[in-house]
Amino acid sequence: MAQIREIKKRIKSIQNTQKVTHAMELVAATKMRRSQEAAVAGRPYSHTLHEILSKVQSASHEKRHRLLKTNSSPNQLIIVVSSDRGLAGGLNLNVFREILKAETRNTSFITIGKKATQFVAKSGLNLTASYGSEEIPFLQLARLLTKMVSDDFVAQKYSKVSLIYPHFQSVVLQVPTWIQLLPIPPISQIEEEIPSGDFLFEPSADLILDSILKHHVLTQIYQVLVETKASEHSARMVAMKNATEAAGDLVDDLTLTYNQARQEAITKELLDIITAQHAFE
């Protein structure tokens, strides 16, 4: 009897957990749709910016812009982008594993999201600044980061600034991806009908290049922040879907055991009655 009650209790508690994970799955699914739309909607902008940038760069005489040229500082800076909350499968862990694989001597870190902050602090790495991923609007956060890293880079504090984040490949696949922010890697030229030499630049190619390069860094960071959100929600949705399914399997198993135990108890009771009756006859 005691065993039966025990099993019943476990089934109840697993069913409660299942309800919670199912609710989280639904919430993550809605949030994912929204952030996915935002991530996709930002693409025409960055694509066109890239197009203009490639034109401006080939026309500009200033080949050694301060954001393009390398310097000899021994230090480098890594920006780690993660989620604020857990329960998202291996999303953050995969990113952190990549960092542990990378060269981290003379490296400072800027973290976005609580999980990354905790990871960097725990691993005893050099943490320079950290931001929550939900406290500041993305565009503002991107602006802040751009300002911070480009100032430090121009002041030759770092020779390289890179960024790692979970890239949104598909709903079930988020790949940790490195982006080199500074020095800005050579921009791939886009072939078009009109050669860039035929373009007129107002006020001048050099002036536009300066502001467009800064903007390029900003757009990259912004796009990364938006994509990380999409990755987070889809990873959480998948993780919660798996959890709900696993809970369902457990409940099925336990129900079977419960029925067996119940049947056993009934058989035993019947046996008792029958043997008692036989004894009387």
Partner 1 sequence: MLHLQIITPEKIVFDDEVDQVSLPTATGQITILPHHVALVTSVKPGELIFKKHSKEELLAAGFGFAQVAADNVKVLVDLAAPEEELEERKIEEAKKAAEQALAQKHLLSEEEFATASANLQKALAQLKIKHRRRRI
Binding residues for partner 1, how many (CB under 8 A)? Answer: 32
Q: Which stretch binds partner 1 (CB under 8 A): 75-83, 110-118, 119-127, 194-202?
A: 194-202
Per-residue contact string for residues 32-71; x = within reach of partner 1 by CB under 8 A: ------x--xx-xx--xx-xx--xx---------------
CB 220 within 8 A of CB 39: no
CA distance 162 to 113: 17
CA–CA distances in Å: residue 203 to residues 57, 68, 77, 165, 208: 15, 21, 34, 36, 7
The correct pick among 83, 177, 219, 231 for binding partner 1 (CB under 8 A) is 219
Residues with Cβ within 8 Å of 69's Cβ and at least 6 positions away in sequence, in order, are 183
Per-residue contact string for residues 220-259; x = within reach of partner 1 by CB under 8 A: --x-------------------------------------
Q: Does 143 bind partner 1 (CB under 8 A)?
A: yes
Q: Which of 71, 38, 66 is nearest to 233 (CA)?
A: 38
CA distance 269 to 273: 6
Q: How far is the CB of 21 from partner 1 (least distance, A)?
A: 32
- Looking at the Cβ atoms of 135 and 281, the one nearer to partner 1 is 135
Q: Does 207 bind partner 1 (CB under 8 A)?
A: yes
Task: Please spell the DSSP secondary structure of 104-147, one letter per residue.
Answer: -TTEEEEEESHHHHHHHHHTT-EEEEEE-TTTS-HHHHHHHHHH
Q: Does 84 bind partner 1 (CB under 8 A)?
A: no
Residues forming the site for partner 1 (CB under 8 A):
38, 41-42, 44-45, 48-49, 51-52, 55-56, 139, 143-144, 147, 192-194, 198-203, 205, 207-208, 211-212, 215, 219, 222
